[in-house]
């Protein structure tokens, strides 16, 4: 029925100053849940859409991926996805969010100890904001000098233990950033301890003497178990074997092995412990001192031309690093694509032939939003309304790109990709804080701009719960489209994956929830929980990446698909739906006589479906193109 259309196919007469919305296709995806591949998403292809109409679609639970608009069918999907937003002026940053901001400031000031940033060891690639040779830079510059009378050997060993603790912390942060560890769990601080003299000779063949050890893997495993216990209301989404102390220790020890090359240490995991060994002939205070001295020398002696980042030594006379945040309209930028390609391959292990320029354009560059230029009258921000890329540039180097839509009421965060070398800066969290700050600042230019939309919140997926950390957030009721505070909704979501949020007062008063909770959803959720799947579902800090490939390869389902009429809508009248045909637009009531009985029956079934998913008001405002 609906085909591709040229720009001229939509009449612009009588349209408002922000243009006109034109959509084509309306159907349900066969395999649309990006998390478990179960049915449950309605999709539209948009040729063009005004920012006002897209804002209204957001407030009915829609999102976009490129030129596609999609919405979960909450009673059918096993992973109910609630639109989540935050009023920027009410935002209260958590201690962790404040730490992220301060870490960036210290880094820019040149005051962030390199030993606290470290690097991601592995594959010979820099990853924590330091050069390849900078793992040695973790000297004792941030530690207290021994006072007179203190034992020099003991003090030196403690400095090294502190240094190793920081390196383990860095790797843990990397695992959190890459979603190998849950992002919503408060982990204890990693501590590496000196091994007592009596146990130091517990050598392992080929490794030397055991000098330092950490049991952080046991503490991480315990923290994850507590967060996922039934009493906490979280579903058990992580295989216990995958995040056992032994597997966690193995995961952390692997990247730490770079220390063997730089500081004369060997790192191994042993039954959940992370052990650091020194060659027997060198296991003395002199060797420990050499670890620190060699670190100091490397910090001063790096001559590599491609060393992009240094700590204070790389910025003589205490010069600051410069962070620039540049906002520009969505367009293809080769530098951005190169960063995206590296991010996908490094962070998500995508194959090079899967990260193509065409797929990148479809996913993150193409947009149906009609740009609205600044008006100067307090109704549009200085940048205008539309789709934008926000670049984060440090000393001339592009380190992250946030893809956002700026709409009359909100900044809608779509996706973020970043340089793996800067993972230690928690750029996902930092960019979210910047985007919230941007909304606050631009309220002075556009009073209607008040909210920050974080995409979909999936309570049944532990990897998605980090979004609720931006307080105080609200969830959209999937039936009546009312906003409900997250703190009010959470107790019910702890018990059931799908709840009609506007009915929470009734549920809290003890009335039966069977009317409001889909039996089908519960059955699918129980089945999904019982299945042991080997593939880990990828979930991003901005979570639409999995959508693009689905739209590329799937077709709409047959016309026999039925859509239940939402409670309270009554009979649907399609007469006033705005239809585009051959370059003109009509109300369906003025057009229906042009079709025969079979064509009219088919078309009306499509229009009924379309009106139910976008609402009567939008169906009378947007143009549904017949080609």
| 570 φψ region: left (φ > 0), alpha (ψ -120 to 50), beta (else) | left
Of the given ranges (120-134, 283-297, 376-390, 608-622), which has the lowest mean pLDDT? 120-134
Tell if the pTM clears 0.75, that is, is over it. no
Asked if 416 and 428 touch (Cβ cutoff 8 Å), the reply is yes
Asked if 22 and 10 touch (Cβ cutoff 8 Å), the reply is yes
> What pLDDT score does 325 carry?
96
- Distance CA(57)–CA(411), nearest Å, equals 14
- Distance CA(581)–CA(577), nearest Å, equals 13
Encode pLDDT of 257-315 as tens digits.
765 555 677 888 888 899 888 765 554 444 443 443 333 333 333 333 333 333 333 44
- In the sheet with 209-214, reading across from the earlier edge strand, the strands are 193-194, 209-214, 273-278, 265-270
Q: Is the pLDDT of residue 236 over 50?
A: no
Asked if 142 and 113 touch (Cβ cutoff 8 Å), the reply is yes
C-alpha dihedral (346, 349, 355, 359), degrees to nearest 10: -110
Encode pLDDT of 589-627 as tens digits.
998 888 888 888 999 988 998 998 899 999 999 999 887
- Distance CA(328)–CA(525), nearest Å, equals 41
- Distance CA(290)–CA(269), nearest Å, equals 24
Residue 219 has phi, psi (to 5 degrees) of: -70, -40
> What pLDDT score does 78 carry?
80
- Distance CA(584)–CA(248), nearest Å, equals 62
Name which residue leads in pLDDT, 142 or 254: 254
Q: Which residues pair with 504 in a beta bridge?
A: none
- What does the mean pLDDT of the chain come to? 74
């Amino acid at each position: 029925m609906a085909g591709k259309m040229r720009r001229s196919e939509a009449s612009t007469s009588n349209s408002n100053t922000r243009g006109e919305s034109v959509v084509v296709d309306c159907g349900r995806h066969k395999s649309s849940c990006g998390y478990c591949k179960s049915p449950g998403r309605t999709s539209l292809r948009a040729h063009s859409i005004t920012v006002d109409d897209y804002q209204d679609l957001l407030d009915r639970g829609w999102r976009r991926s490129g030129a596609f608009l999609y919405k979960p069918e909450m009673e059918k999907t096993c992973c109910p996805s609630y639109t989540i937003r935050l009023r920027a002026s009410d935002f209260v940053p958590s201690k962790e969010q404040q730490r992220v901001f301060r870490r960036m400031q210290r880094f820019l000031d040149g005051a962030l100890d390199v030993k606290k940033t470290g690097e991601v060891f592995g594959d010979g690639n820099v990853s924590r904001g330091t050069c390849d040779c900078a793992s040695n830079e973790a000297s004792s510059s941030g530690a207290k000098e021994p006072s007179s009378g203190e034992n020099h050997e003991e003090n030196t060993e403690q400095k090294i233990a502190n240094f190793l603790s920081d390196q383990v912390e860095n790797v843990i942060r990397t695992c959190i950033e890459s979603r190998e560890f849950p992002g919503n769990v408060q982990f204890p601080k990693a501590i590496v301890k000196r091994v007592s003299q009596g146990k130091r000779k517990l050598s392992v063949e080929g490794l030397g003497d055991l000098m330092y050890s950490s049991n952080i893997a046991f503490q991480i495993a315990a923290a994850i178990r507590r967060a996922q216990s039934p009493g906490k209301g979280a579903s058990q989404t992580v295989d216990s074997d995958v995040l056992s102390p032994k597997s966690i220790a193995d995961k952390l020890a692997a990247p730490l092995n770079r220390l063997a090359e730089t500081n004369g240490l060997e790192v191994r995991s042993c039954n959940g412990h992370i052990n650091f060994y020194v060659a027997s002939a060198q296991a003395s205070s002199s060797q420990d001192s050499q670890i620190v001295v060699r670190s100091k020398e490397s910090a001063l002696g790096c001559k590599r031309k491609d060393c992009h980042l240094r700590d204070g030594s790389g910025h003589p006379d205490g010069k600051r690093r410069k962070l620039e945040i540049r906002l520009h309209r969505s367009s293809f930028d080769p530098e951005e694509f190169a960063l995206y390609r590296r991010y996908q391959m490094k962070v998500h292990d995508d194959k090079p032939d899967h990260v193509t320029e065409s797929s990148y354009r479809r996913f993150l560059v193409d947009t149906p939003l009609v740009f609205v230029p600044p008006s100067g009258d307090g109704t549009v921000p200085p940048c205008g309304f539309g789709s934008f890329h926000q670049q984060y540039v440090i000393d001339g180097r592009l380190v992250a790109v946030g893809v956002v839509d700026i709409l009359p009421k909100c900044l809608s965060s779509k996706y973020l990709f970043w340089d793996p070398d800067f993972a230690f800066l928690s750029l996902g969290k930092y960019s979210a804080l910047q985007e919230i700050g941007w909304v606050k600042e631009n309220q002075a230019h556009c009073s209607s701009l008040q909210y920050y939309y974080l995409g979909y919140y999936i309570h049944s997926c532990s990897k998605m719960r980090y979004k609720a950390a931006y307080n105080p957030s609200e969830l959209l009721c999937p039936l009546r489209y009312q906003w409900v505070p997250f703190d009010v909704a959470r107790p019910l979501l702890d018990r059931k994956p799908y709840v009609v949020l506007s009915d929470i007062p009734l549920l809290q008063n003890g009335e039966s929830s069977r009317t409001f909770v889909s039996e089908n959803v519960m059955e699918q959720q129980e089945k999904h929980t019982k299945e042991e799947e080997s593939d880990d579902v990828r979930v991003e800090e901005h979570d639409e990446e999995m959508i693009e490939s689905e739209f590329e390869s799937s077709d709409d389902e047959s016309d026999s698909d039925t859509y239940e009429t939402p409670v309270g809508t009554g009979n649907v009248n399609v007469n006033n739906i705005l239809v585009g045909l051959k370059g003109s637009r009509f109300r369906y009531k003025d057009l229906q006589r042009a079709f025969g009985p079979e064509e009219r029956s088919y078309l009306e079934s499509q229009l009924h479906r379309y009106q139910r998913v976008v609402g009567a008001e939008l169906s009378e405002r947007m143009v549904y193109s017949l080609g």
